[in-house]
Structure formats: C-alpha cells, structure tokens
Structure 1
Amino acid sequence: MDLTHEIRDFLMTRRARIRPEDVGLVAHGKRRVPGLRREELAQLANVSVDYYTQIERGQVAGASDEILGAIAEALQLDADETRHFFILVRAARSRSARPTWARDAPQVVPDTVRAMLRSLETLPALVQTQRLDVIDANQLGRALYADAADPDGGTLNLARFIFLDDRAPRLLVHWESSADDAVGILRVAAARAPDSPRITDLIDELSTRSDDFRTRWARHDVVGTTHGTMTFNHSALGRFALNYEALSIPRARGVYVVVYSAGPETRDADALKLLSAWAATNSETPHPTGGESRIG
C-alpha cells in the first residue's frame, strides 16, 4: 500500500465533506470541488498553506503530533479517524516501527482462548482477524454463521462473504451497514499492516470483483467500533437481532473474540435458545475455518 497516497486521499476526502459555512467561513467564488480549500483548512489548523499542502501530499517526516492534532481537529475527525490518521503518519515515517504481527506472521488461537470459546455454551462466539478471517468458533458461532459457510470447506472471510456471496444479503438483514463496517475495518487493517500481502491481495480481489466494495473503498471511511447490534435472517430460525462485543487478545495481536448476546427475556433471547437447540441437532454444521484454528 502506498502510504503517501493513503494520507493524501484520506485528508482530501475528509476536507471535501466540510462546507465553509459549517466552520464559520464565508465561501468566496465558484468552487470546482466540494468542501474546504487547502488554504481554508490551513487557516483553521493555524499552519501555513505550504506546510499543510506538504502534509496532505504525504510528506510527514517532520510533522509534530501537535500539528497533526490541529489538522485532525480542523477536519473534525472523530476518534477512529484521528487514530487512523496518526497510524498512517507513523507508518509512513518508519517501516521498522511497524509491529511484527503486521507482516503476515501466522496468527494462532491460544489454547486459553479456545477453552474460553468452548465454555461459552449459551452464547455464539467467533475468533476473527482484522482481515475478517474467522479462525475459530464455538458450536453456537458455527450455527449462527451456518448460512455463510464455504461449501468447499475453506476458511470463512466475512468481507469476501459480504461482497461476493449472494447469500449475504439474505443472512445479514442490514447488509448496507455490514458492508460499510467491513470496508472500514479493512481500511484500518491496511493502515496497520501496509506491507501485508494477505490484506493487499484481499483488497485487490474485492476491488476487482465488487462495485459495491470499490465504491466504499474510495470513500476512505474507517471503523474502529468494537460493539453494536446485528440482525440475522437465519435460514432455519428466521429473523433475530443480537448484540456483539469484540474483545482484543493481547497475546495474539490483531485477533479478536467476537461474542454475541441478547437481552434477557426478549424474543431475541428465545431465538438464541432455539439456535442452541438447532446446533445440538445439527452437529455437522461446517466449521467456518474449514476445520483449522490457525492461518498463515
């Protein structure tokens, strides 16, 4: 991934979404492109136009955190976007500073995490990477995503499923939201591991094969959300909504346990009980990892 281009495109897309009147400026003359001009953004960030232009072009070697913070504030970046901006800048400054897990080292599910998955008998749980590979799951997790299982027994990649599998809009009721989140997560992953062939190859594949992905990728939106609600339309159980929480694993950087739950005494909680009963009678449910708990 070309980090210079990433910084440029990220800042330009953030600048384009702000109207002068939104930040107390008077718009003068006809504008060829939407949003703030470079000189207006520089004024808001209290830096020279030449200096801001240098940063927008990805020349960030000497930029201080104070200046970067001022630019983030002027662009009205949220917490996830600000974090993403700083990650891009730091990655551009020094390749040697990138974490070792970002260089496509095999990601292994620790035995303690596997034991935790098995102990969650009433809640679906997955182990997934920032590339959105599902590398392990408990029985209820397999049952929840049974409609997404690879017919050939390969590892389930949620991004590939969302954008390239016709079953996705049927299983994921709010498909548009899931698609936005998947692209935002991959954008963050690519910034943290810009030299990762696995991430780059996946992005290239999706960009080539999916107009929906390509359009979203061009927006440069990022997602760092670790919790939310998903509505499923399960082929055997119908529609229900589950809350989810993604928990990072310190021993396996870039790997998360995603646990799904429902509020007590709700129809969704009843659906979880039915899912458990269905899983018990469908023990041959395909494993999303193709039977493996390790990727390389």
Structure 2
Amino acid sequence: MVTIDLRSEIKEFLRSRRARLAPERAGLPAYGGNRRVEGLRREEVAMLAGVSVDYYVRMERGSLSGASDGVLEALAPALQLDEAERAHLFHLARRSRASGGPGPRRRRAAVTVRPALQRMLDAITDAPAWICNGRYDVLATNHLARALYAPVFADPRRPANTARFVYLEPEAAEGFFVDYDRVVRDVAAKLRMEAGRNPHDEELIALVGELSTRSELFRQRWASRDVRFHRSGRKRLHHPVVGRLDLDVESMEMSAEPGLLLNVYTAPAGTATAERLALLASWAADRDGPAPESRALGRDARGGRDS
C-alpha cells in the first residue's frame, strides 16, 4: 500500500536533489576518483548552505519543523533547486511545522463547482475550457472541452481523471498526446507537487496507490521525486475525429477557489488548428450525428503541422 509519509517525503526529496549534484557543478573540488556517495556529500551541502553538518543531517532525516525560512532560502541554492523545487521544499517545511510528525490521513471535502463557474465555462464557446484540481480530477467543462477530451471521458468513472488516462490507458494516451513522454513526466511531477501541499489527502493517497499498483511507468516516474508547476504552454494532441491540434494552454489558479485550476485552450486565427477547432465544435454540437469529414481539411487533419 503506497502512502505519502511526510518525513519520508522530506528525506527522499533532499537526498535525491543532493545525489544529482556533482561537486564540479556545485563549484567544489572533487578529490580522488572514488567517492562513496552519488553527488554531493552531506557535509558539502551543509557547507554550501552555511549550516552545521548535524543540522543538515537532521533535515535530511525528515525533520524540517525547526528550519527557518532563512535556512530554507540558503538550502535552495546550495541544492540548485528550480522554482518548483524551491516551492516544494517550503510546502514540506510548512507541513512539517504544522504537524510535527506524519499526521493522520484526511479525506478532503468533495469539491462542487459553483453554478456561476459552470456558466462561465459555458459562456466560452470558441475555446475548450475546463476546471480541475491538483489530483487531475476534471470537475467541470464546457461543451468543446468535453469533445476535445473525448478519449479521457470514455472511461465511465467520475470524475474523469487525466492522470489515470495517461498511465492506465497508455495506448490510447500515447495516440492522443503527441508529446506523450513529456506528459508522463509532467503528470507525475505535478502530483508529487500536490503531495507536498497536501500529504495527508486521502483521495490523493488513493490515486497514487492505484497508479503505483497498476503502472510500472508511474512507479518509475514517481520515484524520480521530480516536481513541476501547472503552467501555461503548448499542448499538442491528435484528436480521433479532427486530427492534429497544436493548442496554446493557459492554466490559471482560481484565487476564489483554492486548489482549483482553470484551463483554456486556444489557437491563432487562420491556422489549421483553428479550423479544426471549428470542426470539433460542429461535431460537439451534434454528437449523435455522423462525425464531420476530417478529409475536408486534407492531409493536415491527419497529423500535419499548423502553417
């Protein structure tokens, strides 16, 4: 049974970040050819962070409850943490201070998207838009987003969950996501980030346990301890009806609904993707009718790039 133990999370995160740093990369001399540890030694990290070796050892054993923000600010550059990793370190420290230990599991209250938010989504008629939480549960969509993510919604389980789709339906997911390998890495890393924020979330623990039990690929990616933010960017999909879609994604945290993200997909006017989105909207308006002819867009609809 997979659990998300806070002390273990802290210990393995710090250890994995230390192990990836060669002395030369940290600006330290590498004496001799046989180093018994991978990456930096604990005493080298302590020196770079300006803390005692004993103090750093306590942190790497899973205790951040006594670490001040100043110490964490010194530790982040010593381990060469990126923005997401630094935020993850501070999430872990805050949880460690609050709990003083592993803490009990907590079942989070079921999230119900307010009717006003659903109306907002429905008012966005020319772009797929949907709301999810940090566990990748799809909580609300507009009509075009349901059509765009039709392969994800093929699973009758609700709420639909894109992490389950990516790892438990690998053939379908690899055909749907053009950059499947990157998506695989990002999904696990974002779930790891969520675990730092909510290490005792029972639904998150259950999801990680399910994915770990059923997917070797997830076990490998979860063991990397990598973390990522939900960020805006490019999403390249191959839709089973309209073909290749190269979409710009804006992912926005909803300040009035902590923990929820609004995702909106767009394409520049005049591009092949914009034409295919219009075709998808036509299909979505009449899902019971025949699918539109993808060949109307020529070879591009079967996977060509935008012009």
Report the equivalent of 2:124.
120
Partner of 2:9: 6
After superposition, residues 256-271 of structure 1 pair within 5 angstroms as 256-271=261-276
C-alpha distance in 1, partners of 2:141/2:288?
14
Decide whether aligned partners of structure 1 residues 199 and 153 sit closer, same or farther in structure 2, where only a CA change above 3 A counts.
closer
CA distance in 1, matches of 2:107, 2:96: 15
TM-superposed CA distance for 1:15, in Å, is 0.8
Judge conservation of contact 2:107–2:203 (CA < 8 Å) in 1: no
Q: Could you tell me the percent identity over the aligned residues?
A: 42
Amino acid at match of 2:179: H
1:22 to 2, 7, 25: 25
The amino acid that maps onto 1:112 is A
Q: Name the residue aligned to 1:140.
A: 144
8 Å CA contact 1:108, 1:252 repeated in 2:
no
Letter of the 2:20 partner, please give it. R
Residues 242-257 of structure 1 aligned to structure 2 (within 5 Å)? 242-257=247-262
- Which residue of 1 is the match for residue 56 of structure 2? 52
Quote how far apart the aligned CAs of 1:151 are: 4.1
Contact 1:180–1:216 at 8 Å: present in 2 too?
A: yes
User: Is 1:66 aligned with 2:70?
Assistant: yes
1:129–1:135 Cα contact (<8 Å) kept: yes
* Residues matched between the structures, number: 280
Secondary structure of 2:35's partner?
coil
Gaps of 5+ in 2: 101-105, 290-307
What is the match of residue 202 of structure 1? 207
Compared CA separation, residues 153 and 40, structure 1 to 2 (3 A)? closer
Are 2:233 and 1:233 aligned? no
TM-score normalised to the size of structure 2? 0.87
Q: Does the Cα contact within 8 Å between 2:176 and 2:238 map onto a contact in 1?
A: yes
Where does residue 276 of structure 1 map in the other structure?
Answer: 281
Name the CA distance, whole Å, in 2 between partners of 1:254 and 1:95. 20
CA apart distance, 1:137? 0.6
What residue ranges of structure 1 are gaps of 5+ in the alignment?
A: 97-101, 285-296
Shift in Å, 1:49: 1.1
The reply to whether residue 41 of structure 1 matches residue 45 of structure 2 is yes
The counterpart of 2:83, out of the listed 58, 79, 82, is 79
- Tell me by how many angstroms 1:215 deviates: 0.5
Q: Normalised by the size of structure 1, how large is the TM-score?
A: 0.90
1:109 to 102, 108, 113: 113
The answer on whether the counterparts of 2:48 and 2:78 sit within 8 Å (CA) in structure 1 is yes
CA RMSD of aligned residues (A): 1.7
2:216 paired with 1:211: yes
Amino acid at match of 1:79: E
SS at match of 2:183: helix
Partner of 1:69, secondary structure, is helix
Q: Kindly indicate whether the alpha-carbon contact (under 8 Å) linking 1:42 and 1:48 is maintained by their aligned counterparts in 2.
A: yes
* CA–CA separation in structure 1 for the residues paired with 2:224 and 2:87: 17
Give the Cα–Cα distance (whole angstroms) in 2 for the partners of residues 191 and 57 of structure 1. Answer: 16
String of CA shifts for 1:250-293, please: whole Å, max 9, x gaps. Answer: 23221111111112222221221111112122169xxxxxxxxx
Aligned partners of 1:217 and 1:51: how far apart in 2?
28
1:126-179 Cα distance to aligned partner (Å, 9 max, x none): 111100000111110001011221343532111000000131111111111111
- Relative contact order higher in (CA < 8 Å, ≥ 6 apart): 1
